[in-house]
Chains A and B, each alone.
Chain A
């Protein structure tokens, strides 16, 4: 497996319309989303993100939550 590359994953996510930041904690990618991320309620969307993360050397991917200001659902306001 390739070494985890947070910068490359960040760019790949941005290219998919998911701007934000990736924080690498060894092989855990912590996705710090921007304002326009979808809710990711769809399992296929989550699988796609996990596959993207594994392509960049990660075994785990987690979406950071902000209790005070949850990311907006792209389909909503």
Chain B
């Protein structure tokens, strides 16, 4: 379902009870806790939380914290900073060091557990130093059905997930974000760059930079919507949104696409014929079963 269809389905209902009531419940939840620190990536969910919290809580009682490392796409960082500036979201940046954790760098199927563990270990002290009562993340209700090893790290660190706890779906978050004027309402999902590497392929700064360069080159070429350049050693497997896939398979455009990815540093380029699939490396790695041909 395209993002617009998703939101239109909820637009008619955004003013109806369910989503509006959930937002009111979210504000109440935030005020009950009094002060919050948010792990802020600038993605759809954390942007929405940041927008609500900035309005709901008094100055000094909310802080959005960006965790920066080589796995955090530069484009997403720039968008997060721009959003914070535009909506007066109080923001702090801290460096995280998950790449130097061999358990993370080995890229096991629970890689995210070590990443999130590192993130919360950096953010929790900030919350304590600033007297912020609760650390929160942007996990939503739909995420609860996915393979999310990072959730265990959040639980262990005492991090709360108000969007999930209050039953917000992704579609509702997008619709409510649109109503607030947040540009992230239509933003594709943007997981960390390590998600481009198959499980078992070691995460290194060089490989992360390679996939990031390739994706940036394809955006510059005009690819819009969902995009992933999956790393397979010398081969880049390009996943495009299904609405874009047919157009980019035309001879002239596919040649330009291949050239751009090669110039980024890959020796070989292939286009995935099924297009973008969230979590496709979970399927390739046998973590989850394939849902079948769509």
Contacts and interface: CB of A to CB of B under 8 A. Distances in A.
B247 A61 contact: no
Interface string B240-281: 001001110111101111110010000011111110000010
Given A28-B237, A50-B274, A60 B280 contact: yes
Interface in B181-230: 198
Q: What band does the interface of chain B fall in when counting residues whose beta carbon is under 8 Å from A?
A: 20 to 34
A24 B258 CA distance: 20
B232 interface: yes
Contact of B272 (A26, A47, A61, A72): A61
Contacts of A59: 283-284, 290
A51 B293 contact: yes
Given A46-B245, A63-B273, A71 B251 contact: yes
Interface of B: 198, 232, 235, 237-238, 242, 245-247, 249-252, 254-259, 262, 268-274, 280, 283-284, 286, 290, 293
21 contacts: A25-B232, A26-B198, A30-B237, A31-B270, A39-B251, A39-B254, A40-B273, A41-B249, A42-B246, A43-B242, A43-B246, A46-B274, A49-B273, A50-B293, A60-B280, A60-B283, A64-B270, A65-B254, A65-B255, A67-B258, A76-B251
